[in-house]
Chains A and B, each alone.
Chain A
């Protein structure tokens, strides 16, 4: 199977190289009008078909690796290092991306899959797709060359084949780890497609903005995958690492967040190009930067450029990435310089107070946030290079610098939709902003009244201060968004006679893009509220003998047992804790078959030691309700007394983060669905001095 996989990768590499070279030749012939023995169109089609075949060849290689994992073929070095016989079935899939070579194969396979879809749908615009497909082939050649020559996943184990493997990293033996990396990679890899379209459109001086509409769907889907991937990673960190948090500003986390920020900026600013023919150069560079940041992220993760808690797979392929990034940057700069006259803006922003300027500031803030994270991630390396002194740039730096930026961005989330295109009158500003500003102050005062006070021990408490501002701004933004829904729904209700709920649904279906976007903003607000809860986290640690009690917030934990267990994969120790509140057992929902019923809550935090690797792993017990999470960690047994050490956290509002993600995903799906006959949308206005049709047409509705 190793030979089959290796051959499949070589075939894929050859096909991708053919796609690239034949594609370039065909496009050159079409551009210059030269003739050779084969027609350029036919040559371009053979290149496209080669691109489709790349997908089949890489799929064969990926299946060969998965087959080898399940067959426990420890003659393959990668399988020996990342799997073992006792590894449960689902985690055998995880082995594919737990190491350097496997994760690059996953990248190549996802790239092949995206390329397969792109090349099958080429009839939408044959020439643009030919450009995009050829550029994509260049990216595929790079990844396949690494797999063939620098990090081969089917390399054989040197020496006598061992009877069992080293096993999978325990941190990866968690259900979410079967989904999180593929999601993140779908996001990372997916940004190659908008990049290829943007570069291709620029190379061919694509007329009009149709390529933006084609790219938008790819970008949104990719952005959705990246968003879900990031949140799954947060949830995994929360449930597995056992420190009570979900985001540690680790370089690897930062690496995934940076392209998300530039991708989000692109999704906003691209609307200005679509609607008003503005910011064309800016958009092109945003998507170039996003793609380059995905490569930089991989470089940071894989090359060990910066130290990280969870860089699971490091090696020396950094040089390959640096060279490839250099080539990509050079191609982007050259193409931009040659074709920049094609990117002239058709309009300029007319007023400081307009939808366009809010988009501009939104972009400014998102890119500043991206810079801050990139700067913080690379500063230890820069400091070591400049003054020979390595420093740590951890959470306190980001919390101080990035949180104010985040709050400003949240504010723009609410302000932007309230401003009209082109210019806003004082009257419309006052009308749209009175309610959100009022709710801001109401929430501000309510928060102070219930104890969210930013002043503690005679000094400013930054956590509380940010929470106070975030809660207040979130309320204002939520009010602004909901009032937009309400205003539109009232118009529909007057037109159709439907109730407000049905009118809201119809309104959303009539303009899925706009209202899907608003739903995404609601999701973001919910997430921010959840994040703000971290300012009020509490924790307590105690060694617990049998029937000892530990109290945190409204909960009392009673140790009713501690025991050990083992299976073929790991040994475990865990404590059994009965949970009560105000003297009564806390009830939780359990399933008896398919019938839900209430049972008394018993938590069982666990510590595992995996047999193959000898590495420990925490399994946190979490009881989640909307107001907070009770989060209990078994830290191990005290070696002197043999009694368990329990650390309990009370983390307010964490559930809101995951709920916000669900809303965000829902909003994105809505925005992806085509609108329901938008041309029928109308509004009743008085007949007197009604606007003329030409005025409306020219108004960029």
Chain B
């Protein structure tokens, strides 16, 4: 039984890996998407607080000029980072739509994941502590209860109880 379960898990993992490999092997090339990608990493500086690529008002004093600069940068074979750096040098750090990944800006990226990791770790530790303290009681309960009865009780709970709500 345990061997069959193990085989099933291995096959499921293989299928998952294969599907992921297939999806990563598929794809197309679109050189024009670089402009679109970069104009979504920049803000319009006219004060509208919109992404440069989405700034939509006719007569905006800044967006068309900034988009032209971006096109020129891409046409001039500059790397993405060089183009973004040139925008920061000209308009300040607020022109970037998201914080960079160096200096104090890095804190912006790290903090959410650090908080999530710390909270998850704390939760796991708490759960392990609680479940360890209950082990004996649960073992005693399991020893006295027929598995079929336990299964039926779970079924009844699911069908008639409030469940999660």
Contact = CB atoms under 8 A, between A and B. Distances in A.
B115 A685 contact: no
A683 B29 contact: no
A361 B116 CA distance: 11
B46 to A, nearest CB: 12
Contact of A513 (B41, B43, B96, B165): B165
B105 to A, nearest CB: 6
B82 interface: no
A656 B26 CA distance: 28
A691 B27 contact: no
Interface residues of A, number: 99
Interface string A690-701: 110001100111
B156 A685 contact: yes
B62 interface: no
A516 interface: yes
A351 B56 CA distance: 53
A468 interface: yes
B129 to A, nearest CB: 8
A425 B151 CA distance: 9
Interface string A250-277: 1000000000000000000001000100
A392 B97 contact: yes
A491 B25 CA distance: 46
Nearest to B99: A391
Most buried by A among B29, B58, B94: B58
B153 A453 contact: no
Nearest to A681: B160
Contacts, number: 225
Contacts of B22: 448
A700 B88 CA distance: 60
A209 interface: no
Contacts of B92: 390
A445 interface: yes
Interface string A385-412: 0110111111111001100010000000
B86 interface: no
Nearest to B150: A425
A401 B157 CA distance: 38
A309 B133 contact: no
Given A349-B127, A448-B26, A488 B108 contact: no
Nearest to B162: A514
B165 A683 contact: no
Interface string B90-104: 001111111100011
Given A396-B98, A683-B156, A348 B165 contact: no
B120 A364 contact: yes
Given A386-B104, A397-B99, A633-B56, A695 B153 contact: yes
A457 B93 contact: no
A353 to B, nearest CB: 10
Interface in A454-472: 454-458, 461, 468
Contacts of B128: 352
A647 interface: yes
Interface stretch (A52-60, A371-379, A584-592): A371-379
Contacts of B152: 685-686, 690-691
Given A441-B15, A683-B155, A695-B153, A376 B162 contact: no
B127 A360 contact: yes
Contacts of B76: none
B117 to A, nearest CB: 10
Contacts of B89: none
A355 interface: yes
A308 interface: yes
A456 B27 contact: yes
Contacts of A423: 138
Contact of B164 (A392, A396, A514, A690): A514
Contact of B58 (A349, A389, A425, A635): A635
B112 interface: yes
Contacts of A437: 12
B131 A349 contact: yes
A390 B99 contact: no
Contacts of A652: none
B30 interface: yes
A447 B98 CA distance: 30
Contacts of A637: 58
Contacts of B26: 448, 453, 455
A371 B117 CA distance: 13
B77 interface: no
B54 interface: yes
A552 B58 CA distance: 21
B102 to A, nearest CB: 12
B164 A441 contact: no
Nearest to B43: A392
Contacts of B119: 364, 367-368
A423 B131 CA distance: 10
A502 B142 CA distance: 38
A685 B99 CA distance: 60
Contact of B160 (A349, A445, A671, A701): A701
A454 B158 contact: no
Interface string A199-230: 00000000000000000000000000000000
A148 interface: no
A427 interface: yes
A448 to B, nearest CB: 5
A511 B163 contact: yes
Contacts of A513: 162, 165
Given A271-B164, A352-B131, A516-B165, A394 B43 contact: yes
A500 B55 CA distance: 52
B10 interface: no
B61 interface: no
A183 B26 CA distance: 46
Nearest to B15: A441
Nearest to A453: B26
Given A400-B98, A457-B28, A511-B165, 9 more contacts: A271-B165, A350-B134, A360-B127, A367-B119, A383-B105, A394-B51, A401-B113, A420-B154, A420-B158
Interface of B: 12, 15-16, 19, 22-31, 33, 40-41, 43, 48-51, 54-59, 92-99, 103-105, 108-109, 111-113, 115-116, 119-120, 123-124, 127-128, 130-131, 133-134, 138, 146, 148-165
22 contacts: A243-B50, A271-B162, A271-B164, A308-B49, A350-B134, A364-B120, A368-B115, A383-B108, A392-B93, A394-B43, A395-B51, A395-B97, A416-B164, A425-B150, A425-B151, A444-B23, A456-B28, A458-B29, A633-B56, A636-B57, A681-B160, A699-B153
